[in-house]
């Protein structure tokens, strides 16, 4: 059986589905979903300070000399891997597959095991965002990559197999369908900037605004599929 990562096209939606057999080898991958992320909490955490040898060498480290406070390492079980270009192959009437070249990295938010995103101070959060910026800039200069995405795992329900707060950085050889559709929405909008028009309209409406200050506006837009109850 071929264990190479692969993209498969869903003919009903036009979305690419990622098939990555090796991710079945992750710690506790097939344990029942529960509030506990790790079944075996006795083994050393590879993301804690002092256990750096348990991960591949860091791609980036942030912090004072001799220590780190944010760390980016290659994922041991990558979804996207290699510099293969995006090549589509039709192998049946409804079977369409493509190469899954790209890069998959782990962003360790803090050397402290219990320090999740909501607990980060301003300085730590700034370093995390700087790491995301720097890695995406690196992806941008990699010829085989066309799209980068950052996600933060929070618990087993989000796919995390380790408790230590961390995120994922994905560099892909294709642009996801949802992003292509959003870009098309921008190009179809007549009258200027779509987001600028949305901000102005939602500020005037008022009741879908979650947070507004001199730097940030957070809204549940008019077209939200599942808006939080507090917005209504």
- Domain layout of the chain by residue ranges: 34-80+101-179, 190-231
- Helix H segments across the chain? 122-140, 177-188, 194-205
The answer for 82, left when phi > 0, alpha when psi is -120 to 50, beta otherwise, is left
Percent of the chain with pLDDT over 70: 84
pLDDT in tens, 150-203: 998 776 665 667 889 999 999 999 999 899 999 999 999 988 899 999 999 999
Q: How far is Cα 190 from Cα 1, in angstroms, rounded to an integer?
A: 51
Per-residue pLDDT, 3:
57
- Residues 104, 30 contacting (CB under 8 angstroms): no
pLDDT in tens, 95-154: 999 999 999 999 999 999 988 888 999 999 999 999 999 999 999 999 999 999 999 877
Average pLDDT for 76-99? 92
Reply yes or no on domain 34-80+101-179 having CATH 3.30.450.90.
no
Give the residue, 226 or 24, on which the prediction is more confident. Answer: 226
Relative to beta strand 166-172, strand 217-219 is unpaired
CA distances from 183 to 13, 20, 81 (A): 18, 28, 26
The overall average pLDDT reported for the chain is: 85
Q: What DSSP character marks residue 147?
A: E
């Amino acid at each position: 059986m071929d264990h190479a990562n692969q993209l498969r096209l869903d003919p009903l939606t036009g979305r690419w589905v990622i098939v990555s057999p090796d991710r079945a080898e992750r710690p506790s991958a097939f344990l029942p979903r529960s509030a506990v992320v790790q079944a075996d909490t006795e083994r050393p955490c590879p993301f804690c300070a002092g256990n750096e040898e348990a991960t591949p060498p860091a791609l980036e480290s942030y912090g004072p000399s001799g220590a780190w406070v944010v760390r980016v390492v290659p994922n041991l079980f990558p979804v996207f891997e290699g510099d293969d270009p995006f090549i589509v192959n039709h192998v049946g009437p409804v079977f369409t597959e493509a190469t899954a070249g790209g890069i998959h990295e782990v962003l360790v938010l803090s050397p402290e095991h219990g320090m999740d995103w909501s607990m980060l101070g301003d300085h730590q959060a700034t370093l995390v965002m700087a790491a995301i910026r720097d890695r995406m800039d690196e992806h941008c200069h990699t010829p085989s990559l066309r799209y980068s995405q950052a996600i933060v795992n929070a618990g087993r329900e989000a796919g995390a197999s380790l408790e230590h707060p961390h995120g994922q950085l994905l560099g892909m050889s294709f642009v996801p369908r949802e992003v292509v559709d959003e870009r098309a929405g921008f190009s179809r909008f007549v009258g200027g900037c779509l987001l600028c028009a949305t901000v102005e309209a939602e500020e005037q409406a008022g009741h879908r605004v979650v947070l507004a200050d001199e730097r940030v506006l957070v809204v549940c837009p008019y077209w939200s599929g599942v808006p939080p109850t507090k917005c209504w």
